[in-house]
Amino acid sequence: MRYLVALTLLEGGSDEEFLPVVVQRSLQDVCHRLVESPVEVDVRPVVVSNPGDVSRERWVLERSRRERPLDVVLLHVDGSADVDRELRKSFAPVEEVWQREGGPGALLPLVPVREMEAWALADTEVLERVLGAGVDATRVHEADRLTEPERLSDPKLTLRDVAALGVRPRRKAPGPGVYLPLLAERLPLAALRRLPSFRAFEHDIENLLDTLGWRTRDR
């Protein structure tokens, strides 16, 4: 039995409702497909906090060192409209300190485009089942882009609009804390793999398995 320990550093509280479960499912599936011996995956979610007396880069390094032994740190960065720019701004400075001072394990970016909610919108059928309503294009922001959710200008707004469709009169729409965990559990990985940013994440994980010398299959 091998153990893959992944510290997942998140940008905010709503990300914690969704990304750790999706990351766990993805890592387990990739390891199952590519590693001959069993792998137990341990995903440890932590919301990034900058107390003000240290830089973000230093905080990430020191927080990661507390999790040893550790195989990989996944640093969540929202991709916005320009992934390369966001990586230069939010990931590259951390990577520079990580490499210079010898961070524990590998450091990889976790970059949904434009934001985490785009991944949550990856499968319309699952979305409708979880939220209890069909998608009414006249009441959902940029509904014409749902087949390519990474093109949405505001995935949070689109997801909130869809959530409101299943609400009965005089009832409040469910909050993200209700539907995001359900979507994280039920979204097919095949649907997520239609998204370029999710494929890029899994490609990085496949390369990590190569670096660790664990990859024994190619499928």
pLDDT single digits (tens) 92-119 = 999 999 999 999 999 999 999 989 999 9
pLDDT at 87: 93
Q: Which positions ≥6 away from 67 have C-beta within 8 Å?
A: 5, 7, 44, 104
pLDDT at 166: 67
What gap in Å lies between CA 89 and CA 70, rounded to an integer? 25
pTM for the whole structure: 0.93
**Mean pLDDT (whole number) for 42-66:** 90
Q: pLDDT tier at 177 (50, 70, 90 boundaries)?
A: confident
Residues 57-103: tens digit of each pLDDT = 999 999 999 998 899 999 999 877 788 899 999 999 999 999 999 99
What gap in Å lies between CA 20 and CA 46, rounded to an integer? 9
Q: pLDDT tier at 13 (50, 70, 90 boundaries)?
A: confident
Lowest mean pLDDT among 131-135, 146-150, 153-157, 211-215: 131-135
Closest CA to 48 of 38, 58, 34: 58
- Alpha helices, DSSP H, located in the chain: 13-16, 19-34, 56-65, 83-86, 92-101, 116-120, 124-131, 155-165, 176-186, 189-192, 196-212
Please, what is the average pLDDT of the chain? 91
For 109, phi then psi, to 5°, come to -80, 145
pLDDT at 174: 67
pLDDT at 165: 80
| Position 32 pLDDT exceeds 90 | yes
Total number of residues shown for the chain? 219
| Position 173 pLDDT exceeds 90 | no
| Position 170 pLDDT exceeds 80 | no
Q: pLDDT tier at 214 (50, 70, 90 boundaries)?
A: very high
